[in-house]
Amino acid sequence: MTNTFAMSPFGRRTALGRMLGCVAIGTGGGLTAGCVPETGPVASAPRTASLAGAGAAAASCDACAFCAAVGEFHPPAPTPCVTASGQGTCRGVAMTRSIWDRRELRVGFMNGDVQLIERVVNAADEWTRHSGLRFIYNPPGRTDIRIQFRGTSGGGSSTVGRATERVDQAAPTMVLGLSVMSSERVLRRLVLHEFGHALGLEHEHQNPAEEIPWDHDAVYAHAAREWGWSRSTAQHNILDRLQAERTQFTAFDPRSIMAYGIPAALRRDRVAIPWNFDLSDFDKVFIGMLYPGPNRASAATSLEEGQRLWAAGNAAAAFEAWLPAARQGLPDAQAAVAYCLQAGLGTARDPAGAARWYRAAAEQGHAISMVGLGVMLEAGTGVTENLPEAVRLFRGAAERGSTDGMFYLAGAYELGLSMPADRAEALRWYGLAARLNHAPSVARQARLRARMGT
């Protein structure tokens, strides 16, 4: 369940705050509707942008065929998403039969340099930080996941979830095309993706909740040309969706590590999907749903209880419910606690404490908290003013699909905060948010166009 809250906009005392006409929480003005339409920590779903599409070709029933086929890739620079999809829910897809019935999985390495193995372990453990899972590496005896390094293509393959129980102990269940020379970006993407399969996750494009506008003829031609696949193989591995009654799934998440980049030519709407290189916010929530740990489960309960209390008008009790969940690492709870501390709702106002909680959530890739912390850094509220860091956070939030992030990044370009002013770039970001019905961006885009005479 997603918890959202009103972003603290810029104070009028700041240049960007004056330009955007926003009032910072705690500066005597309160929130203005012209800044952010949300009204509280659980008022609405986050306004995030996402591509209405999914990853590229699918895993087979038990193994990730596309991962093995794709080999070396040259991912494009991340680009802002331009259409809304699946707001207000956690997202993911997994075959019920593939989900493990235990929380400790034994992982063995069949070959590989010690340094390379250490890097893989560090990347794979990211899944355990958001769930009740624990990986035991190179244990004696039987293993659940067996990794073999083969080649340096940057591609790989993995048996999906519990299907590894049918693989001979002498055979690998995961193949990684990595070496000590592989870049950290390529290594991390591949390891997180393949371990996702090993934990039972499927490619996002197979999600029963999403119907992708594939250009079938283009897909067949692409699969035949690139991987030598027949039409039936391409149909099974790319075009077919999983059966809903056999699947645990939620709304489609184009930023999932389980999604692959798709060339625009393979879709009728000609909208490309960029490559992803880290767990999305929803990957983290979904894996915690599939494999809850005792702390995570209690934290999720506290989060929901806080939402109920906030909706009932009891801000003080909501704050107390959210606090233990925030301490257990849930970014939604951390963001809610930060908002309460910043606004002085349900607790004493504490801007410095708010900044600390925003930062904790922002470091987990929580887009709303990135904007919240960026706002405080721009205004110098609770923290030392740091305009370059504020702009970096706005950009990170914008690239994760936050329309608030797009709005504030556009304002930074318009004003030239810590970088040369660039009205064209400002219009582009206002436009992206405006296309997602972000009312302040619609108004600001119109004003800027009028000033530019365009």
- The better pLDDT of the pair 243, 33 is held by 243
User: 95 pLDDT exceeds 80?
Assistant: no
Do 132 and 300 form a contact (C-beta atoms < 8 A)? no
- Residue 68 pLDDT: 41
User: 307 pLDDT exceeds 70?
Assistant: yes
Q: Which of 282, 308, 325 is the last residue of a domain?
A: 282
Mean pLDDT of 412-417: 92
Report yes or no on 55 lying in a domain. Answer: no
**Rounded CA separation 48/258 (Å):** 19
Q: Which of 252, 282, 312 is the last residue of a domain?
A: 282
User: Residues 354, 429: one domain?
Assistant: yes
- Residue 214 pLDDT: 86
pLDDT tens-place string over residues 434-449: 998 899 999 999 999 9
Report yes or no on 69 lying in a domain. Answer: yes
Report yes or no on 145 lying in a domain. Answer: yes
Closest CA to 394 of 377, 406, 376: 406
Task: Identify the top-confidence range among 13-22, 96-105, 337-346.
Answer: 337-346
Q: Which of 282, 304, 328 is the last residue of a domain?
A: 282
| Mean residue pLDDT across the chain | 76
CATH number at residue 262: 3.40.390.10
> Collapsing DSSP states into helix, strand and coil, what is residue 16?
helix
User: 11 pLDDT exceeds 60?
Assistant: no
Task: Name the helix (H) or strand (E) containing 176.
Answer: strand 174-176
User: Residues 81, 21: one domain?
Assistant: no
User: Residues 308, 403: one domain?
Assistant: yes
Mean pLDDT of 168-195: 93
User: Between the CA of residue 201 and those of 237, 250, 330, 349, 404, what are the distances in Å?
Assistant: 15, 12, 21, 42, 31
Looking at residue 78, the DSSP 8-state letter turns out to be: P
Do 27 and 121 form a contact (C-beta atoms < 8 A)? no
Report yes or no on 3 lying in a domain. Answer: no
Q: Tokens for 134, please give them.
A: 């624990």
Q: How confident is the model at residue 17 (pLDDT cuts 50, 70, 90)?
A: low
Report yes or no on 104 lying in a domain. Answer: yes
User: 33 pLDDT exceeds 70?
Assistant: no
- Residue 202 pLDDT: 80
User: Residues 173, 253: one domain?
Assistant: yes
**Rounded CA separation 284/90 (Å):** 9
Least confident of 81-95, 273-287, 312-326: 81-95
Give the dihedral of Cα atoms 252, 7, 1, 282; nearest 10 deg: 40
CATH number at residue 385: 1.25.40.10
User: Residues 124, 234: one domain?
Assistant: yes
User: 410 pLDDT exceeds 50?
Assistant: yes
Closest CA to 276 of 172, 399, 369: 399
pLDDT tens-place string over residues 356-396: 889 888 888 899 999 999 999 999 988 889 999 999 999 99
User: Residues 429, 358: one domain?
Assistant: yes
Instruction: Report the length, in residues, of the chain.
Output: 454
Closest CA to 71 of 172, 161, 175, 159: 175
Least confident of 24-28, 48-52, 135-139: 48-52
User: Between the CA of residue 265 and those of 22, 204, 260, 272, what are the distances in Å?
Assistant: 42, 19, 15, 8
DSSP string for residues in 286-343: HHHHHS--HHHHHHHHHHHHHHHHHHTT-HHHHHHHHHHHHHTT-HHHHHHHHHHHHH
Q: What are phi and psi of 267, to 5 degrees?
A: -120, 145
Q: What are phi and psi of 147, to 5 degrees?
A: -105, 130
User: 1 pLDDT exceeds 80?
Assistant: no
**Rounded CA separation 21/415 (Å):** 13
Report yes or no on 57 lying in a domain. Answer: no
User: 23 pLDDT exceeds 70?
Assistant: no
Domain count along the chain: 2
User: Residues 213, 354: one domain?
Assistant: no
**Rounded CA separation 391/321 (Å):** 32
Give CA angle at 426 (454, 451), nearest 5°. 35
- The better pLDDT of the pair 81, 281 is held by 281
User: Residues 93, 228: one domain?
Assistant: yes
Q: How confident is the model at residue 80 (pLDDT cuts 50, 70, 90)?
A: very low
Do 163 and 62 form a contact (C-beta atoms < 8 A)? yes
Do 46 and 4 form a contact (C-beta atoms < 8 A)? yes
- Residue 347 pLDDT: 95
**Rounded CA separation 280/266 (Å):** 24
Place of tokens 């596309």: 66
User: Residues 178, 266: one domain?
Assistant: yes
User: Residues 200, 84: one domain?
Assistant: yes
Report yes or no on 232 lying in a domain. Answer: yes
Do 92 and 157 form a contact (C-beta atoms < 8 A)? no
Mean pLDDT of 410-432: 93
Ramachandran region of residue 453, left (φ > 0), alpha (ψ -120 to 50) or beta?
left
Mean pLDDT of 332-356: 92
Mean pLDDT of 162-180: 92
**Rounded CA separation 411/408 (Å):** 5
- Residue 288 pLDDT: 79
User: Residues 77, 28: one domain?
Assistant: no
User: 216 pLDDT exceeds 60?
Assistant: yes
- Residue 2 pLDDT: 34
Q: How confident is the model at residue 117 (pLDDT cuts 50, 70, 90)?
A: very high
Which structural domain, as residue segments, surrounds residue 248? 65-282
> Collapsing DSSP states into helix, strand and coil, what is residue 383?
coil
User: 236 pLDDT exceeds 80?
Assistant: no
pLDDT tens-place string over residues 247-297: 344 445 677 888 877 788 988 888 887 788 888 877 887 787 788 776 666
Do 366 and 378 form a contact (C-beta atoms < 8 A)? no
Q: What are phi and psi of 156, to 5 degrees?
A: -170, -175
Report yes or no on 56 lying in a domain. Answer: no
- Residue 114 pLDDT: 93
Q: Which amino acid, residue 380?
A: G
User: Residues 200, 300: one domain?
Assistant: no
Contacts of 198 by beta carbon, 8 Å cutoff, 6+ apart: 105, 145, 158, 159, 160, 161, 164, 173, 174
